[in-house]
Amino acid sequence: MMDDILFDAIEVAVHAHRGQFRKGTKIPYVFHPLNVGRILHECGCSVLVVVAGILHDTLEDTPIAFEDIQTRFGEEVANLVSLLSEPDKTDTWEHRKEHTLRSLESASEEVLLIALADKLDNIQSIYRALERDGEVVWSRFNRPKKAQAWYYQKLVDVFRRRVSKKPGLSLYEALQAGVEQVFHEPDPNPDLA
């Protein structure tokens, strides 16, 4: 029975994100929510948290409605997905990110875990893109590298305050390392130190 709900979530995500791609790539977008689900599963999260992780971008980025998720996956999954969604996509990038940061300050453990897995997969994707394509990667985003660095550092700060036990702690540590890897500015004159 629980395997069925996972397969249903994967099917919904694949269908909902059909035709969507990761920023500036030909990589199908659905790889991201599936990776989020994988990360949560590997951390030993409950099936419902894994399902919500797989569906976390459906309300925000697809025509799927809250009621659709509620009917198919239940109230708990629908609420988790809703809490992970930005309320107004027409608002500025800065306001949307500030809303996310504020909401994480009081979020449940389940929401924190899904958000951590989401941001971890994003930062790992950015790192791989930087390795492959170099600094041109930043032109794919709505805001430049400096703004992205601000946002990810603020996320790390929130998670540092809010996460105190496993599995969140291991996800936090991986996110922190990824943010350091992506945004660390190498010393232009290493021999002068």
Active-site residue set: 60-61
Judging by beta carbons within 10 Å of its beta carbon (0-12, 13-18, 19+), is residue 141 exposed, middle or buried?
A: middle
Euclidean distance between CA atoms 48 and 191, whole angstroms: 52
Distances (CA, A) of 65 to 59, 69, 118: 6, 7, 20
In sequence order, the 6+-apart residues with CB closer than 8 A to the CB of 142 are 93
What's the CA gap between 57 and 121, in Å, rounded? Answer: 13
